[in-house]
Structures are given as C-alpha cells and as structure tokens.
Amino acid sequence: MNRTYEKMDDLITEISMGPFGSDIKVEYFVDEGVPVLNGSNISGFKVTDDFHNYVTEERASGYRKAIAVRGDIVITHRGTLGQIAYVPDDSQYEKYVISQSQFKVRLNTEKVNPVYFTYYFHTNEGQQRLLSFKSHVGVPALAQATTNFRLLDFPLIPKPKQDAIASILETLDEKIELNNQINAELEAVAKTLYDYWFVQFDFSDANGKPYKSSGGKMVYNEVLKRDIPEGWNNGIIQELIDKVPSSNRVPAKEFKDTGEYPIIDQSQDFICGYTDDKSTVIKPETAHVIFGDHTRVVKLVNFNYARGADGTQVLIAKSDKVPSYLLYQIVSDIDLSNYGYARHYKFLKDTKCVIPNRLVAQRFQEKVKPFHEKIKDNIFQNQQLENLRDWLLPMLMNGQVTVK
C-alpha cells in the first residue's frame, strides 16, 4: 500500500491545549452539566462516557478552545503519555471539557478519517512518533506538545481505504463494547435478584409468592438488629469462606498472550495474560471470588486460572454455608470505602451477615448460574476479539493486510 507523508499541520484545522489549572478548580465542579475528561476517559481508542466531574454550561463557554466535540481527538501531554482517543459520533454528550493534561485536535476530514488517525497512533510506529518529543526531565510530558505535534509526519493513504480500515477496527471494538454492556446488564439483573431475595426477603415461598410481602414469618435477630426470615441465622463473612494461599504467583515477565490458563489480577478486565505453567494453576471445584486488597474490586472467576497480581485475595465459598454465586453477591454488597488498604480485608472477614436457608440459597444459585456462564463466555470472546484487533491493527496500517 502506497503511503505519502504529509506534515500534521496540513491535516489539522484546529489544535489547542486544555485550560490552565487555575481555570478549572475542584470547587467549579457540579453534579451535572458539561463533563470534564480525565485520563481514564481516553485510555482506549475512543472517549468513554463515565464521569464524576462536570462544569456548568456557563463556565464551559469560557473554555471555548478546550471544548472537544464529536470527531475531535484528545491526547494526553502530561502524566500517562501515549493516550489518544477520538470522540465517537454516538457519544453520550455533544461536548466535553478536556483537562489541563490534555490537548485536542480537529482534523480536515476530507483528508483524514479521525478513527483511522486514532488507531494509527495506537500502533508501535504511531506511538514512537507521538512520544518522539517526550521530555525526560521531571513529570512525564510532551515538550511543546501542540507545536511539536504539528511538525510530525503522518503516513497518508487514500481516504476510502482509511474509511474501510477504520470500519473494520471499529466494528471489532463495538462488539467488545456490546459484550461489556451485556455483562453489565446481567450483573445488574443478578444484583436485583439478590436484593429482592436476601435484602428485602421476598424470595419465592413454597406457593411461589414473595415470602415477606405474603406474610412469611419474620424473627428479630439481636446480632443483626433486624428482622430476618424464620429459620435463617446470623454469622460473619469469615465463616462463609476459605482463602486460597497467595504463594503461587506468576511473575509479570512471564505473562503472555497465549497459553492455556488465564492470569488474573484486580483490574476491570481481571485477565492480564496467560501462562502454560501448570504449577501456578488453581482449578476450582466451585466459583472463586477475587477480592482486591489494594483496589476493593470484587470479581467472580468461575474458570481455571493462574494467580497473577499481588494484593489479590481468592475466596472460596464454604459449600456447607453458602453457594459460590451467593457469596459473590454478599461480598460485593459490603461497603469498604471507609477502610484503608491495611485493614479492609480484616474488616471484610469480620463483617456480620445473614446466613440464609440452604434451599433458598441453592435456588438463587441455579437462577443466576446462566447469567454468570454467559458473562464468562463474553469475557473470553472479548479476549479473542482484542487479540484479533491488535494483530490486525499494524498490518492494516502498513499494508500487509488489505481491505477490498
């Protein structure tokens, strides 16, 4: 594939830095309005709509040059370098305020497809170009970010080919995103069912009616300081769990993309690589709960895996107390936000909880099992899709693979 190199300055219609720190203080943030981007919003290929900070429309109007809209590209120039993402056409918001650590780029879309442009800068070649003017003094930063970015050479191919490549890569990411949305919905349904059965105590009784609402007998529990169904009991989390020893860890240098057993960690994806080392593999009889000591992340893992990250506790449900999926919901429902890293695992173990009737608990297990099996399938499918995308990306960009 023939590529011609053009100066970025000839492809850019607008480029500008984020606001100065004094112009966007914490006290300016409100609960709704125009969202303010941070690094987590541009950690992938496109801007994600997950926000905690907003500014009013009035204040946003004063950040005119720091407003990114659909089709714009946002790049980190200080902090976590190498981040670059586009604002998709179907973004939740029409505009965004970029942070003081970012700059935005608007392209001449007759020459360049913004999606193609963004994907290019996620290749090794693109990252090398983007980081070619990195400063090696102090906090990681791109020196004279907008000036030097304008001076970069960009490998240009015909616009129709850009559009075709962008479409393929975007389709793969859309499928990954759809799977994540499905998983989130399935998690929400399981959580709703848990709340309905084990918080409100309206599980189905022998007649198929909601227990508490239909007059099921409730008994006041002195330890829990609340009414619970007759025949249920109180306990603490430690009574419900066994803990897998943390000695069999996989060194980070041994992580790889292929292998038989996934390596787990505390990240949102919780699969950070694979290994063939069977000595590190845990083969659970029942599902495991992954509890992040450092992040307070709680994940369910119901497949064979290898231990990976430090600060991760693996909890196994004691089958004579609660089934595995119920343990996951119980642990997920505990608020650990006020407990520091050194204490919150101990606090978790000591937390009081309801120990339900075994029959009700097992019925819950059977109802939510299909949800979690589907979630597991989607996780592995996403791993395959990400590997395919990452394999195709450089070859599509350099012409080793062509689109017809």
CA dihedral of 42, 43, 45, 51, whole degrees rounded to 10: -40
Do the domains 159-206+357-404 and 233-355 sit in the same CATH topology, yes or no?
Answer: no
- Give the model's pLDDT for residue 343: 65
Determine the 3-state secondary structure of 323 from DSSP: coil
Write a three-state SS string for 215-270: CCCEEEECCCCEEEECCCEEEEHHHHEEEECCCCCCCHHHCECCCCEEEECCCCCC
* pLDDT over 90 (residue 393): yes
98: left (phi over 0), alpha (psi -120 to 50) or beta: beta
- Give the model's pLDDT for residue 315: 85
Report pLDDT digits (tens) over 104-141.
Answer: 999 999 999 999 999 999 999 999 999 999 998 888 99
Q: Phi, psi at residue 219, to the nearest 5°? A: -125, 135
Q: What is the mean pLDDT of the chain?
A: 89
pTM above 0.85, yes or no: yes
* pLDDT over 80 (residue 64): yes
What is the arithmetic mean of pLDDT over 332-346? 74
* Residue 353 tokens, joined: 């909880």
Determine the 3-state secondary structure of 178 from DSSP: helix
* Residue 150 tokens, joined: 């304008």
Report in angstroms the alpha-carbon separations of 239 from 233, 301, 351, 354, 387: 12, 20, 10, 11, 41
- Give the model's pLDDT for residue 374: 96
- Give the model's pLDDT for residue 397: 92
* pLDDT over 70 (residue 94): yes
What is the arithmetic mean of pLDDT over 245-270? 72
Report pLDDT digits (tens) over 126-181.
Answer: 999 999 999 988 889 999 999 999 999 999 999 999 999 999 999 999 999 999 99
- Give the model's pLDDT for residue 248: 59
Higher pLDDT among residues 342 and 323, named by residue? 323
Q: Phi, psi at residue 381, to the nearest 5°? A: -65, -40
* Residue 280 tokens, joined: 């590190």
- Give the model's pLDDT for residue 341: 59
392: left (phi over 0), alpha (psi -120 to 50) or beta: alpha
Confidence of residue 21 (pLDDT cuts 50, 70, 90): confident
- Give the model's pLDDT for residue 294: 66
- At the second CATH level, the architecture of 159-206+357-404 is Orthogonal Bundle (1.10)
Fold for 4-157, please state it. Adenine-n6-DNA-methyltransferase TaqI; Chain A, domain 2 (3.90.220)
* Residue 190 tokens, joined: 């399981």
DSSP 173-189: HHHHHHHHHHHHHHHHH
- At the second CATH level, the architecture of 233-355 is Alpha-Beta Complex (3.90)
What is the arithmetic mean of pLDDT over 259-275? 79
Contact by Cβ (8 Å): 130, 82: yes
Share of the chain above pLDDT 70, in %: 93
Q: Shortest CA distance to 374 belongs to which of 118, 187, 109, 158?
A: 187
Size of the chain, expressed as the number of residues it contains: 404
Confidence of residue 336 (pLDDT cuts 50, 70, 90): confident
* pLDDT over 70 (residue 241): yes
Cβ neighbours of residue 16 closer than 8 Å, sequence gap 6 or more? 65, 66, 103, 104, 146
Higher pLDDT among residues 250 and 206, named by residue? 206
Report pLDDT digits (tens) over 353-376.
Answer: 999 999 999 999 999 999 999 999
- Give the model's pLDDT for residue 346: 79
Helices 159-194/324-332 angle, 10° precision: 100
> Where in the chain are the domains?
4-157, 159-206+357-404, 233-355
* pLDDT over 70 (residue 293): no
